[in-house]
Amino acid sequence: MDNLAALASEANQNRIPTLRDVRELPGSDVVLGIYADLMKRMKNAPRFLLDRSVTQTMVELSLGRPKVLREAMEFIRVPYQRMWIEWEETHREKIRQTFDTRPDDPGRPLPERLGFLIECEEGGRRGTVTWAWTSPPWEGIDSRDLQVPNIGPVSAYFDLDTRFDQGDRRVQSFLRGNLAKVWAGNQTQLEALWSIWETAIHRPSEWGKRYLDVFASDPAELQHRIDLCFADVYGEYIGVWATLMILTSSRKAADYREIDRTRINKARIKRREVPLLDHTEVVMHVSGRDDPGGPRRAPLGHARKSPRVHMVSRYLARRGNRHWIVEPYLRGSGDGVERHVHVRT
């Protein structure tokens, strides 16, 4: 996200070697215009940076039983009108280990960082997802100053209360995918998995249409670009809701650390450098709390008194790599609380 902020500030200048290379391409104004537009949409939006544990849990939810995730999506509401979520792609190595996937196209290497901007209407059930990612620098390009992020021309337009027809071509492509093969022998889970994608329609954004128009003179090249744009983001859609499940869980599943860059930005502004963005770091303690300021555990042998009978609300449970929704239930032991009502006549 700091690279996006820097590019938004420097797009109108000619100081970055990589941008000079981009300016020589046809349609460069369209390509560079998205950075300032994206930063304008991210203004005042909360920004979340996921640590390794949160990212790995997101992957496990994506690879887990789709029926659980699909049922949870019936209750999910995006908590902000706009929010940015980002992580290091190296934290998702379990996906490549599970499917033994390796980049076979040198022109499309694995990203180093990946994030998405989610923009919602009132109610948090309808909106748009825009993806961005940073790839390793290409050979022969001087990127010591900055790595130029890629913005996905294809966005997901979702409505969690609607089902969108994906078309036969998307269905067949989906069934050939790695995730569908995991549940090939389980029709219930396979249908639940596909229904997650049916909550959105993927199509080029307004900027994406202008970007693709640059290649409209060559129909073969245009179709190739469109296929690549869909391939870059279509499979990432399930990760959006796996992440939102963690962030909006009724039982606290992660800690939040506010990263304030006010002090360092004062020095950067004096040096006429682009200020860094404040954000929230999302941390999950999978193997126990390492926060010395957290609550202390009771001494060994301490027997806690059973709580009064009360109702426990629905929450997301996790054990190993399994996740499930626990329905509301009564907890506690002993007699219920007696209540006496005195009536005067």
Per-residue pLDDT tens for 239-262? Answer: 999 999 988 876 676 788 888 888
What is the model's pLDDT at position 334?
A: 66
What is the model's pLDDT at position 290?
A: 44
Per-residue pLDDT tens for 213-245? Answer: 877 778 888 888 888 898 889 989 999 999 999
Question: 126-134 and 113-120 as β-strands: parallel, antiparallel, unpaired?
Answer: antiparallel
Contact between 82 and 130 (Cβ < 8 Å): no
In sequence order, what E strands does the chain have? Answer: 47-50, 82-88, 113-120, 126-134, 150-151, 154-159, 200-204, 255-259, 279-283, 310-312, 315-319, 322-326, 329-331
Quote the CA–CA distance of 114 and 191 in Å, as a whole number.
28
What is the model's pLDDT at position 298?
A: 45
For the CA atoms of the chain, what is the radius of gyration? 24
pTM of structure = 0.72
Contact between 60 and 94 (Cβ < 8 Å): yes
What is the model's pLDDT at position 110?
A: 76
**Domain ranges for the chain:** 2-281
The whole-angstrom distance between residue 72's C-alpha and the CA centroid of its chain comes to: 16
What is the model's pLDDT at position 330?
A: 81
Owner of token pair 């000079």: 20
Quote the CA–CA distance of 212 and 204 in Å, as a whole number.
9
Quote the CA–CA distance of 12 and 295 in Å, as a whole number.
51
What is the model's pLDDT at position 78?
A: 93
What angle do helix axes 168-175 and 187-197 make, rounded to 10 degrees? 130
Which portions of the chain are predicted below pLDDT 70? 1-31, 94-109, 137-147, 250-251, 253, 285-307, 334-341, 345
| CB atoms closer than 10 angstroms to residue 281 | 16
Q: Write the DSSP string, 142-199.
A: --SS-PPPEE-SEEEEEETT------HHHHHHHHTSHHHHHTTT-HHHHHHHHHHHTT
